[in-house]
Amino acid sequence: MTVHHATVKVHSQLHKPQFHDVTGDVVAAVAASGIAMGTVNVYSQHTTCSVLIQEEAMDQTLDGVELLLQDMANYLERIAPTCRHEGQYLHPGPKHLAYAEAHGEEGWWSLNTDAHLRSVLLGRSETIPVLDGKPELGEFGRVYFADFDGVRQRDRTVHFTVIGE
């Protein structure tokens, strides 16, 4: 039995939900671990992001989002609408804004409450079986790192922890 940890950086450029396909990174982390059977946990420590598994849709929207992911973003928009004005959500409150200002952050960077809510709804990680040295994703399954924080460009870290033998 052994454990192997790896990370990869992704860069969120667009000012809207962005989905990074990290399937190749999951496969690479499992291969690097030398583990034939066990599990791989794919995780985001960012509280406005999620890790999810979805089928590759093949077709994309005009600005490059896979159709299944855009269909998902559309229902998330109904559950936790994009924050468009102060007071739409309770958060951010005055203590949070004062803290942000004292640490060199712009106040409007905190108008990302929708992203915090979507992140919890879809969950922070997925744990995938490893068989024959590969993550078990089926024929068309892909692992996506979802960045729901549309208020600014961000560098993000994705964690892979492989456990097994």
Which residues of the shown chain bind a second copy in the complex (CB under 8 A)?
1-3, 5, 37-39, 41, 43, 45-48, 52-55, 57-61, 67-68, 70-72, 74-75, 78-80, 89-96, 99, 113, 116-117, 119-129, 131, 136-138, 140-141, 159, 161, 163-165
CB of 11 to a second copy, least distance (A): 17
Nearer to a second copy, 31 or 120 (CB): 120
CB of 15 to a second copy, least distance (A): 20
* Nearest CA-CA partner of 2 in 135, 127, 164, 133: 164
CB of 146 to a second copy, least distance (A): 10
| Per-residue three-class SS string for 141-163 | EEEEEEECCCCCCEEEEEEEEEE
- Token pair, residue 109, equals 């960077």
CB of 22 to a second copy, least distance (A): 15
- Angle, CA 68 vertex, CA 117 and CA 159 arms, to 5°: 55
Nearer to a second copy, 31 or 36 (CB): 36
Q: In whole angstroms, give the CA distance from residue 25 to residue 149.
A: 22
Nearer to a second copy, 104 or 138 (CB): 138
Cβ 22 vs Cβ 144: under 8 Å: yes
